[in-house]
Amino acid sequence: MSVTYKHPLVLSNHSTDPSKINASIIWLHGLGADGYDFEPVVTQLLRLAHFSNTRFVLPHAPEMPVTLNGGYIMPAWYDIYGERPITKEDEAGIKDSAHYISQLIQHEINHGVAANRIVLAGFSQGGAIALHTALRFPQTLAGVLALSTYLPLQSQLALEASPANAHTPILMAHGIDDDVISLEMSQSARNLLLRHQYPVIWREYDMAHALCLQEIDDIQHFLQQVLP
C-alpha cells in the first residue's frame, strides 16, 4: 500500500543562527498521534541552554487502516494485527517507515549535522521504529530513546544490525502499569539487546502508557550525556 509522509514539524531555538545547529533529535510519536504530540516536551527542552544549537525534527506518520482498530484509518508507522504486536508483524510497513526515517537522518547529515550528533527518539510505535532504524543505520548515531516500546522484527536483528551502532547508548523507559505495551514485552526487548551487548540504560516508572516528570528529567539527562 502506498502511503504519504507529510513534511515533519521542525523546532529549534529561534535566536540560533541555523548555521550554528550542531545536533539533531528526530522524535517519533505513537499510534494515532502526530508530530505535535511531543511539541510541549521539546519546547521545554529548548528553553535549556544545552539545546540552544539543537534542531528537533518531529515527523508525522502516514494515514493508514489499522487492523487492530477495525481497519480505522489513523496515523500509524505500520499496521498492527493484534494485542501482542510481535506475534504477527507488518514487516513491509516497518521497513517502509524505517527507510523514511533513515532519509530524515540523511537530510540532517546533508545539512551539516554529523551522524554522531543525531539522536533517534520515539514513543510506543514510534519507539519501535526508532530502535529498528537506529540499530541498522550504517553510520554511528549519538543515541536512541526508546520510550514505552518494544523491538520489532527481533529475529532479523542479528543479520541486519549495523556494526556502526553496536555501541550506541540506548535509553529504554517503561511504565510498570502499561496496558498497551506490556512491561514484560519491553523487558524482553531489553534482554535481547543486552544479549547482543548493546549498552542499554533501563528505567521503570509508576505510570501507565504515558510519560511522567521523572522520565522527562531522565530523558534530559540522557540527551545531555550523548550530545555533550
Catalytic positions are: 124, 178, 209
- Give backbone dihedrals phi and psi of 105, rounded to 5 degrees, phi first: -60, -45
Q: Is 52 helix (H, G, I), strand (E, B) or coil?
A: coil
Q: Nearest-CA neighbor of 24 among 12, 41, 36, 40?
A: 12
In the chain, beta strands by DSSP E: 9-11, 23-28, 54-58, 63-66, 72-75, 118-123, 143-147, 170-175, 200-205
Is residue 157 within 8 A of residue 151, CB to CB? The reply is yes
First vs last C-alpha separation in the chain: 41
How far apart CA 58 and CA 112 sit, in angstroms, is: 18
